[in-house]
Structure 1
Amino acid sequence: MSEAARTQAAATLLVTAVENFDQALATTHPIYFAVLGLDAIAQAVAPCRDLVDVEPQAAARIAEQTHPVAARIAEAIATEVPADIVYAGFGAAKDLVTVRSDALRADRSLYVAMILGDLRSYLCRIEIRRRGDPLRHLAREQAAFEAFKAGIWTTAGFDPRDTQSRWH
């Protein structure tokens, strides 16, 4: 891929990040759009070392958006991910598009990847809960059936109302 094509791809991704961060600020469910915005920034880093000059208006807009978006996300997932992790990830994303490439570039990319992983994991847990966690219920039913067939089935110690397991 030519330098011009890499630069154009990165510019398009930065504009996409701005659009998704705008959506994250406008909606009552900001996490999905925040993930899309962060992912666009993470992808834009790959083809270009310095994103500052690729799309200056988009970089400036991202710099303005990251703190308000991070605040909304930190509030939305306060019980799942510590606020300092959220702010560190969004701060790293901002720096990737506003700071010239330096020795911390790889670390910034890693922080963005880390918050993306946390947010994606959170979205998956929410969806699993919304769907009633059918795989866990199926596994419990299968284990109970196998125990019953083996003659060792018991309900002792099993509480289906257990909400403290790692699956809730």
Structure 2
Amino acid sequence: MRHKIAFLGMFTAFALIASYIESLIPFYFGIPGVKLGLTNAVIVLVLYLMGTKEALAVSFARILLAGFLFGNLYSILYSLAGGMLSFLVMVLLKRWNRFSVVGVSMAGGVFHNVGQILVAMAVVENVSLAYYMPPLLISGVITGMLIGVAAREVLKKLPAGNRRIK
């Protein structure tokens, strides 16, 4: 049990560091909300190495901590919407067992953007924000693929006996 708590703390710290690094990278393509999704790599790894409950705990803790440290209440709201919808879709696809790590990560990237745009439309009470959806979906696929490939390669490098942290 101590090992599990230590790993959860370590992964939460990694996710928080990834959030901070991402906030420093000037990644702007003229579309608000497009990010690399570095923290998704950590969540995907925890999902595959430790399980659903643990990945949810790391994701939720990272969103709250990063929001309070680097953002504001709106950033927490948007991150929670995107992060939780993304997480739900990734868990369902992983359980369905027909998608690779890369496919699960790509779906996570896409649905993170979907969750955020849905909340944005509700907050500003304007459905015309949906015109952001196509470029956000494309960026979610691309960044999700890159993050998924990175996560897959990390998982491949682990010895077979260490692929599941208990």
| TM-score computed with the length of structure 2 as normaliser | 0.35
Q: Which has the higher helix share?
A: 2
Q: Higher Cα Rg: structure 1 or 2?
A: 1
Normalised TM-score (structure 1): 0.35
